[in-house]
Structure formats: C-alpha cells, structure tokens
Amino acid sequence: MTDHAASALLDIARRIATTVGETALEERRRGIAVEATKSSPVDVVTAVDRETEARIRAMLLDARPDDGIFGEEDETHVGTSGLNWVVDPVDGTVNLLYDIPAWAVSIAVVDGPPDPLHWHALAGVVVNPVTGEVFEAARGGGARLGARELRVNDDVELPKALIGTGFGYAAERRRTQAEVLLQVLPRVRDIRRIGSAALDLSAIAAGRLDGFYERGLNPWDHAAGALIVREAGGRVGGAGGAPESADLLVAGGPSVYDELLALVVEAGAAAG
C-alpha cells in the first residue's frame, strides 16, 4: 500500500474518531451510568460505549463498505478487501464513568486479520475528547499530536524512566500484576496507572512516559497506539521476540525497551 493510500485511511480514521468523540463527550456531560458488566463485576459497559461503537461502524461502512470491522462491543463485520478496522469506542470506560479526563476513542486500520500476531497496521488515531488531543500515525509517515511531530524519549536509562502500566479486571490476575509491580517499581523512576492503554502508548510517543507494559490487553486496546509509538521511533513487542499480544505488551524508547522487557519478563509479567 502506498503512503498516499495510508494517509487517506488516516484521514478517515481521524474524521470519524474526532466526530464520535465530540458526541461521546456531550453524552458524558449529560450523565451516564453502568449498563452492563463483562468479564467481572468491575469490567463495566456504558451506553456511551455501545452507541459510540455503533456510530463508528455506521460511518466506516459508509466510507469503506468492503472493509472488515473488529470492535469491543459488537460482533466482527467480515469484509472482502483484506483490510480491517480495529475499534475501541471508549478506552478507559471506568475513567469515563468517574469523569476522570483520561479516556479515548481509538481507531486503527490494519492489513490482514484482526490479530496483532498477523496484521500490519496502516493508520491509527487516538483521540482524547476531554482535552481535544488527537494522536495519529500512518505507516511510514511518522506520528503527530495535532500538527506537532512526535518523537519518543531516547536518552533515558531504566532507573530514571517513568513507566506506565495497567491492571486486568479478574481478581487473580490483578494479584499477579501487583506482585510484578513490586519487582518493577524499585528499578524505575516511578509508575503511572492512567487507565487507558491507548493514551499510555500515545504518551510514550509524546515523551510523557518512557515505557509501558501490560498483560491481558485486547487488540483494540493497542492497535492504534502501538503504531503511533513505532512511528515516533519507539519499539513495541512481547516476550521472546514475539509481537505484542494478550500475553504481553511492552513499549518504550530504544534506550529503555530491552531492559524494561527483560525486567518485566523476569518479574513474571508474561506468566499470569
């Protein structure tokens, strides 16, 4: 696919993400409540999640009727073009529920199946509707925050690195992740838990974090953010040289990536 084609896909992603983000923010300001739960009683869904994904799907099908759509809240739409849109209508639903201004609309388009082990990301957008920030990247075209070109921090040693992470919703996994954190925290500058993997990854691209790790992420959590990190000069992957997946995602600038990956694997981040 040409750079021009990837740029055109990015334009579609940006237009849809910013449009539905504005509507979601208006709905949040009117007030929301938990509508359902998913994997556990604390893994919540709101009407904003479902309505936002429905809007994204309708707009994508209008713009790209032959493409597939893989999202968090609805069944996969199988396309015929070989391209798939990977959609998280609200990444950070608990933040949305509590009115914490750190939730995002994340839209990526990938060449191949909606599986990070086998796809090639072409374009991605992460929009924080509360701040109005739009993080974006097209393959081979760099990463931007609005008009500003992004570049990861690449002069940081791990002991001075600010690292983001996240936690799953199942109690036993949270216990394991806390045990990993006990081993990671003394070896880095500090830890941040923002509550949105898409924003964590975008923060690495913008130099607001030096690295990030988490086990248990879904493809829609990182499809756009991982591309944004890579296009900002960072690295993203999993244990043993594998691509990022639910087993483990580690991201960071080149100066911290290898050490951070080794540290979290040694601490058991990929084991439970």
Kindly report the CATH number that applies to the domain delimited by 3-149: 3.30.540.10
pLDDT higher than 80, residue 247: yes
- Rounded CA gap, 181 and 191, in Å? 9
CATH 1.20.1260.10 fits 158-266, yes or no: no
Answer for the pair 147, 136: CB distance below 8 angstroms, yes or no: no
3-state DSSP assignment of residue 8 = helix
Q: What is the mean predicted confidence (pLDDT) over 130-140?
A: 98
Which H or E run contains 111?
A: strand 104-111
Task: Categorize the per-residue pLDDT at 35 as very low, low, confident or very high, splitting at 50, 70 and 90.
Answer: low
- Rounded CA gap, 186 and 159, in Å? 8
Q: What is the mean predicted confidence (pLDDT) over 204-211?
A: 98
For residue 116, how far is the Cα from the chain centroid? 12
**pTM of the full predicted structure?**
0.94
Q: Calculate what percentage of the chain has a pLDDT beyond 70.
A: 94
pLDDT of residue 43: 54
Task: Categorize the per-residue pLDDT at 32 as very low, low, confident or very high, splitting at 50, 70 and 90.
Answer: confident
The string of DSSP letters for 217-264 reads --HHHHHHHHHHHHHTT-EEE-GGGPPPBTTBEEEE-HHHHHHHHHHH
Q: What is the mean predicted confidence (pLDDT) over 88-100?
A: 94
Q: What is the mean predicted confidence (pLDDT) over 7-20?
A: 97
- Rounded CA gap, 73 and 208, in Å? 30
Are 3-149 and 158-266 the same fold in CATH?
no
What is the domain partition of the chain in residue ranges?
3-149, 158-266
3-state DSSP assignment of residue 208 = coil
135-161 burial code (b ≥16 CB/10 A, e <16):
bbbbbeebbbbeeeebbbbbebebeeb
User: Mean pLDDT of all residues in the chain?
Assistant: 93
Cα torsion at 240, 258, 234, 268 (round to 10°)? Answer: 60
pLDDT higher than 60, residue 42: no
- Rounded CA gap, 139 and 2, in Å? 9
pLDDT of 166-201, one tens digit each?
A: 998 888 889 999 999 999 999 999 999 999 999 999
pLDDT of 50-80, one tens digit each?
A: 999 999 999 999 999 999 999 977 789 999 9
Which H or E run contains 148?
A: strand 148-149
Closest CA to 137 of 13, 263, 272: 13
